[in-house]
Amino acid sequence: MAVERTLSIIKPDAVAKNVVGQILSRFEQAGLSIAAAKMVQLSQADAEGFYAEHKERPFFKDLVSFMISGPVVVQVLEGEGAVLKNRDLMGATNPKEAAAGTIRADFAESIDANAVHGSDSATSAAREIGYFFAETELCQRTR
């Protein structure tokens, strides 16, 4: 399987619960490596731009308010099949439907406050990584 990169966000609810380390551990234990990471307080414009594809959805306003309600931790994860692997680790969007042992089953509160974001395709990953990181901020994992 090809080595890929994907964008992951630990959302404000999970940051507030102090489970950043536990979530990062799950990525590492699954064989994904962190190629870039930062904590950031998103502005309204940042959140609206990131979720622009959902602009017309009824939940858009609540989603943006939630995403700016506290800092997030944004990382680029790298590894074989990283996009799908991360989606599997995350579980379904609605934590009530998320499989046991997934991040959302274990840490998410609701469909709004659902702990993590992960790119849903290689194309989204490329756009989302570029949204948060300059090329020079992506580190080569050489050892």
Task: Indicate which residues carry an active-site annotation.
Answer: 117
85 forms part of the interface with ligand DGI (CB under 6 A) = no
Q: Which stretch binds ligand DGI (CB under 6 A): 2-10, 34-42, 58-66, 78-86?
A: 58-66
As beta bridge partners, residue 117 has 9
Rg, Å, the chain Cα set:
14
Is 5 marked within a binding site?
no
User: What is the per-residue burial (b if ≥16 Cβ within 10 Å, else e) of 11-41?
Assistant: bbbbbeeebbeebbebbeeeebeebbbeeee
Give the x-and-dash track for 92-131 against ligand DGI (CB under 6 A). -x-----------------xx-x--x--x-----------
CA angle (141, 19, 75) in 5-degree steps: 30
* Residue 137 CB, nearest approach to ligand DGI (Å): 23
Q: Which is nearer to ligand DGI, 69 or 134 (CB)?
A: 69
